Amino acid sequence: KQEVTQIPAALSVPEGENLVLNCSFTDSAIYNLQWFRQDPGKGLTSLLLIQSSQREQTSGRLNASLDKSSGRSTLYIAASQPGDSATYLCAVTSGTYKYIFGTGTRLKVLA
Amino acid sequence: NAGVTQTPKFQVLKTGQSMTLQCAQDMNHNSMYWYRQDPGMGLRLIYYSASEGTTDKGEVPNGYNVSRLNKREFSLRLESAAPSQTSVYFCASSEAGIRSNSPLHFGNGTRLTVT
């Protein structure tokens, strides 16, 4: 059974710091992994999708890596800004039809 | 371009009442999903529709029914609401299923309280 863990549950950093968010999963037989951002009271916004054959994806200040064999993904945020404050969730495919979500890391970037 | 639109945004029900949550997407996506989000439990799949005319159960389907009315719309019905169904409900869509590597697009959610 696929399980997804995100550590830490919460993180506070000063503005300008580079940071890494972690996602681990138990079953390496995945099609892809997605990273999402969720603002309070809002839905999830897809940030990056990494296919199982890829090692990383980049979008602006965001870089996500995938190591299927070890069941790990990281989301790297460069030069963090207060506007990056949100909850970040990862999700991996499980079976043929669904995603399994982690419970997220709540990030606060202090001005 | 509205993306995924959910109505209502908030709802309070009494135990035993019924209601339908509406979802519509304007991205011509084939696949649509209903999730619930509960504190400490992440998002869990209730039902999904791989394409127009098909629906299938997810992880937590008990107490819910769905209708894929057409390609755009996917509704979720609670026939007899229970306090355990207090949650935030999200509708999502994707161009195709999970094997296609198309990202999920989410609505802003319906916050449901059952008293």
Q: Does A31 contact B42 at a Cβ distance shorter than 8 Å?
A: no
Look at residue B1 and tell me whether its pLDDT is greater than 70. no
> What is the pLDDT, as a whole number, of residue B42?
85
Look at residue B74 and tell me whether its pLDDT is greater than 90. yes
> What is the pLDDT, as a whole number, of residue A50?
95
Distance from CA of B6 to the nearest CA of A (A): 10
> What is the pLDDT, as a whole number, of residue B12?
98
Rounded Cα distance between A110 and B61, Å, is: 41
Rounded Cα distance between B46 and B61, Å, is: 5
Query: For the residues B1-8, what does the mean pLDDT come to?
Result: 90
Greatest distance between any 2 Cα atoms in chain A: 43
Contact residues, chain A, for B105 at CB < 8 Å: 46
pLDDT-wise least confident of A16-20, B86-90, B97-101, B111-115: B97-101
Indicate the SS3 state at residue B67. strand
Look at residue B106 and tell me whether its pLDDT is greater than 70. yes
Indicate the SS3 state at residue B98. helix
How many contacts does A have with B, using Cβ atoms within 8 A?
A: 66
